[in-house]
Amino acid sequence: MQYRSLGHTGVQVSSLALGAMNFGRIGRTTQEEVTAIVEAALTAGINLIDTADAYSGGQSEEMVGKAIAGRREDIVLATKVALPMGDNPNARGSSRRWLVTELDNSLRRLGVDHVDLYQIHRWDPATSDEETLSALTDLQRAGKIRYFGSSTFPAYRIVEAQWAARTHHLGRYVTEQPAYSILQRGVESHILPVTEQYGLGVLVWSPLASGWLSGAVRQGKEVTTSRSTMMPTRFDTAVPANRAKLEAVEQLAKVADEAGLTMIQLALGFVTAHPAVTAALIGPRTLEHLDSQLAAADTILSADVLDAVDAIVAPGVDLAPAEKNDTPPALLDASLRRRPAA
């Protein structure tokens, strides 16, 4: 297992990190299965575990907490906040009111007195950077969080938050967590240059592109990934973007075969090769999934292999741009880009 510095914090984290989104109802995993996955990951050298309050309505945090009992000091523990937690309109977002309340809820579910990294799961347009950063800074000074970061922020919001921290003399985000894979390379043109500029650690999610790069999706093969049930339109080959992904996957499979690699090794080795990336988040649902992903822990792709990938999916290109999670609101809501009628 490789270890890298988390931005400029000095904290060393494994280049593969354990993502806990599949723990609980989402992945239909039991506590026994979760504990076994966590134990195997730690034994293999993974030291960063990433969860969120919204994963299975808090169940993921509870399961992670039970699985790490007695091992807290061995783990860099990260969780997230901001996605809705029920119907209450104030039980979401990044206001001071909600951050203070929900951090205590997360600590209770995890069974710990602090988390190492507290991340804003999505940018909240309704809350100012000063409000959010001020609350996070106070929570940090109270010892409840060690560092804080952002997740899936548009590039300009990452910059705005850095400037707000400087202007108001507040703590700053030290990490960003974007989606990044061979099939979705848009972050290379806007997010990753910004994170490098500001010295942020980068924890990338969905490096296997929701299963497209796991080897489970191939021409003429029935799709059996759990994501195909959860998000059927993302695997419907009648959709042009999905056809483009499938064509790319078939070409990538040949590159992997010629290099003596599995598709998973190619996919994870690709994202961890980028100099801006600190770690790739893997989200196994079973021990078998974990083992197949751990095989990529020490994968280093040659320049020839990386060039071959570039020839299939060009740098900075998203094959399915409609699936992006960091699209600015003005591109999604017509009322934000049109003048009202006179």
Q: What pLDDT was estimated at residue 322? A: 83
Q: Return the ∠ at Cα 64 (arms to 289 and 17), rounded to 5°.
A: 50
- 112 within a domain of the structure (yes/no): yes
Domain tally for the chain?
1
Please tell me the predicted confidence (pLDDT) of residue 231. 67
Whether 55 is a known active-site residue: answer yes
Does 306 fall in a domain? no
pLDDT tens for 53-111 read 999 999 999 999 999 999 999 999 999 999 999 999 999 999 999 999 999 999 999 99
Q: Residue 340: what pLDDT?
A: 79
Which pLDDT value is given to residue 329? Answer: 76
Q: Looking at the domain assignment, is residue 21 inside a domain?
A: yes
Q: Residue 19, class by beta-carbon neighbours within 10 Å (0-12 exposed, 13-18 middle, 19+ buried)?
A: buried
What is d(CA 205, CA 324) in angstroms, rounded to the nearest whole number? 12
pLDDT at res. 228: 57
| pLDDT for res 330 | 79
Q: Could you please report the per-residue DSSP string of 142-155?
A: TTSEEEEEEES--H
Longest dimension (CA), the chain: 65
62 domain residue, yes or no: yes
Q: What is the pLDDT of residue 223?
A: 67
Return the DSSP state at 340: P
Query: Two tokens at 133?
Result: 């950063």
Give the C-alpha separation, 48 to 71, whole Å. Answer: 12
User: Has residue 316 been placed in a domain?
Assistant: no
Amino acid 178: pLDDT: 97
Q: Is residue 105 part of a domain?
A: yes
Task: Assess if residue 233 is contained within a domain.
Answer: no
In degrees and rounded to multiples of 5, residue 145 shows phi and psi of -135, 150
> Angle of helix 240-259 relative to helix 303-312, nearest 10 degrees?
160
- This prediction has a pTM of 0.93
CATH number of the domain residue 31 falls in: 3.20.20.100
**182 in a domain, yes or no?**
yes
Residues of the chain scoring pLDDT < 50: none
Note the pLDDT of residue 236: 84
Which residue range is the domain that position 90 belongs to? 3-209+274-297
> Among residues 3, 55, 147, 173, which one is catalytic?
55
Residue 218 in contact with residue 249, Cβ under 8 Å? Answer: yes
Q: What is the pLDDT of residue 42?
A: 97
